Structure 1
């Protein structure tokens, strides 16, 4: 009875052992993504299941009996990695095998696995068991990600912009060195919503609203706000753009963006708008002046040729005025330079002209009208007055009225005196354009007071007009 029981137990043990070995064989042969094989004590392959053949590309007939070192890359073989791996397994009980290996085709296979020594009943090593999983695709993705991160880092730290990474809600997760240098805020201070401390208080709410809008459409972020510059505490306008780079099932997960300084561009656009408005204003005024000159000239001449000549001269004066109005900043126009410009157009003989007065600037508001007045006086002097008479002369004086009268307000006074041979005025001609300009236009346009006295032996014209602030 005892013998039968003992025999039964031995048979049961043999069956269990056989079942376990069969199950292990099935596991090894069906693990297609795992390379599970053994070598003898010298490192030569002595078992090569289908999984190993699938991972490394070697058939059983090709690899059996050959060194497992064939599976290592040339550089690892040269460094002695195969032998070091076996020695570590013997000394420590196992050794990691995480590295690139050589495929039968010459390509590389990335394996994550281990090596264990095989020993007999007495503990003597008889070979090695190697188990490794093919992780090539994952490793390639990791390398691609690392390379992408490195390219991003190089780009983000070299471009002249404030680069950042953020969540969909606008929480900062990383900021470039340029951001830190510009704002003085390090990564820790900028994380989350800390970056808002560098944004102008009036712009913070708008910046967050823009992030809410970007999170909803999941396409891009765009906003303009002022960022404080650490160097001088100045808030400068920046244009911020961001795009999503990582996604989850719920939408964008991470964004990358940059802020570009557009402060100078905004100032330029504002100045451009002012210039366009000024240009439109001046163009309308110029057309009105041309129309008025044409109308007044036609009313003071007797023939078309006379109109053409007079109109041409007046347009020339108007052209010179526009040149003065378009001068660059810092090119001041003084009363003296204005007088010289118009007299130069009608005479080369300055021996009969005297001018005296301080340096007084002519403001843009009065420049056009005053130039036309001086042009009319100069033209009339050349055609009918002192410059048309060999013995005639012109004396011009200008001054600030308060310089001669302590109780007077700020006015520019110009006195124009002509002396010429006695003559009788032509009463058949209508009152000239120049006199109309002096007696009617200047008082209306500039709030000036004028006096125009024409006698047989001379002309005395006095202009008194308020000084512009820049003339003071």
Structure 2
């Protein structure tokens, strides 16, 4: 190397400010000091040259002989790396990453050492914070008792088991870890391949949710709500799954009791209602008593209204209990709409239902469920529209989506704009319908039935007055 090269190299080292770079003689005393060392450690070159390397170490490290050990290792191994606390001129400390390299002349004789020091205080603080956060999260997961939280490897074998899992399922951590998670399922579900199906869904979609019976160590069962989530490393490679289970046995029992109760109520109501309606219809045919016929017709109308309310309660309860089974098949919405309108002809009063086709509308849907949806929507349109008005049903494709739609438009009083979302909830009628009576379940049942089929429902005001209810379903 020429003198010019050596001069340029020394100038480069001297001016580096992101790293403290300095030379040490064979005894470990500072022989050179760059700008980065001055900025990081606080001493000027004139103050520090000739000082021992131990000047930059904490009293504890000096007492333990760390500076001498590091020089000895560098001498024996060529270089040594260390991370730890170092001391500035003002006595403050910083976390440093240090590399000490032994320097030799052309004959191999040791002539000193070079040390490069980089401050890592911010990185250390971030790592400590991350470690503390991870430890807190680990303790939180381990000690939660209201939820069973377990880890699974990619094959479905249990890798972690928290206190909630031990409390809910009965197995200790030692008993559970290493077992396949299918041991938590009833025999019928294992035979049907449900555990593997849930893992496959979680792997494909990121998560899988399921409710059903689960098994404890003692063989007893509980109704569990479970969510399985796929876990990936930083490169996106799958590393396993987390499974969170909540015991909903009491809620399930209450739901079943409510379903049973409403089924009984439905039967007990329908029997007298059928009798009342039958006798009233006989009275409507009395030729000489116009007043009596009018009263009888009112009795029939109210009996039918009450019967419809009972039907809504039962339908809602069955949906909440998960007792409604959906069988999606290709279904022509225009044909179904005309069929439902024909069935309801006697209840339409002076209204007309007009079905228009804006294009093919063959949905992948359950016929019984969609019949109920259209009955509810047409029934609402009749109830809230002036006599003699036309209720328009328009079916067709949804532009740019693999869906079809059915719109039911009336000329009624409309829905308050602030209630458009509210009225799709349970037992909600909106501000303009508070005095109408009824269960407030018609649109909730519509929404629930559509969601079961992968569909949705939305309401909007109709230009010129009234409401448009739009139903969307997957195209067949």
Q: TM-score, normalised by structure 1?
A: 0.44
Q: Which structure has the larger Rg over C-alpha atoms?
A: 1
Q: TM-score, normalised by structure 2?
A: 0.44
